[in-house]
Amino acid sequence: MQNVTVSNNPYGKFVEGLDVLKCLEDTPARIESLVRAWPREKDEQSHAPGKWTARQVLTHLAQIEMVFANRLRFALAQDNYVVQPFEQDDWMNNESSQPALVALDTYLSMRRMNLALCRSLTPAQRKKTFTHPEFGVLDVNWMMAWAAGHERNHLPQIDAVAKA
């Protein structure tokens, strides 16, 4: 996949000019190396006062990967697909407190599956459109950039916990 320019994407700045497929592969590997290297006590630390703990950030990444998996497949399989928005804090409020490594493993497993699909897409499939109630008509390339940029947005939080 070529480097992409993304507009109207809240996480586009994190992948602007980069190979999105490479980002989708490399960022989870970086997150995994940081999380597996720290003592488990850090799982309950936050990168800043009043923010989610590392465990919660990992849970959020797993949730977003699940959302990405579903949206990607619906967008590819259905014409006129409309995204169902969600509120991340509501999801987190209903989430159990599974261990950080369970959330990490879930995120990584789903990413492997999603990355395999993304790599297999033709240029026409990557241009397939869907509608997001907030952002309008978008395509699969936009969604891939959204997913890659989202986790790159959270990478400094994980890094901060690792360095603390």
pLDDT given for residue 96 in this prediction = 74
Average pLDDT over residues 150-163: 97
Identify each DSSP E strand in 5-162 by its residue range: 129-132, 136-139
β-sheet bridge partners, residue 138: 130
Q: 73 vs 6, which has greater pLDDT?
A: 73
Q: Give the least confident one: 74-78, 134-138, 160-164.
A: 134-138
Mean pLDDT computed over 111-132: 97
pLDDT tens profile 50-105: 999 999 999 999 999 999 999 999 999 999 999 998 888 889 888 778 899 999 99
> Kindly report the CA angle at 125 between 122 and 130, in degrees rounded to 5?
160
What are the E-state strand segments in 11-160? 129-132, 136-139
| Angstrom distance (rounded) from CA 28 to CA 99 | 18
Does the pLDDT of residue 2 top 70, yes or no?
no
Positions of E strands within the chain: 129-132, 136-139
Model pLDDT, residue 7: 67
Q: What is the pLDDT of residue 1?
A: 41
Task: List the domain boundaries for the chain.
Answer: 12-163
Residues 81/90, Cβ–Cβ less than 8 Å: no
Of 66-75, 110-119, 133-142, least confident by mean pLDDT is 133-142
Give me the percent of the chain exceeding a pLDDT of 70: 96
Q: Are 98 and 48 in contact (CB under 8 A)?
A: no
Within its chain, how far is the Cα of 164 from the centroid?
24
Residue 4: is its pLDDT beyond 50? Answer: no
What is the fold of 12-163? Four Helix Bundle (Hemerythrin (Met), subunit A) (1.20.120)
pTM assigned to the model = 0.92
pLDDT at residue 37 above 90? yes
| H or E stretch at 161 | helix 140-163
Q: Over range 8-31, report the average pLDDT.
A: 94
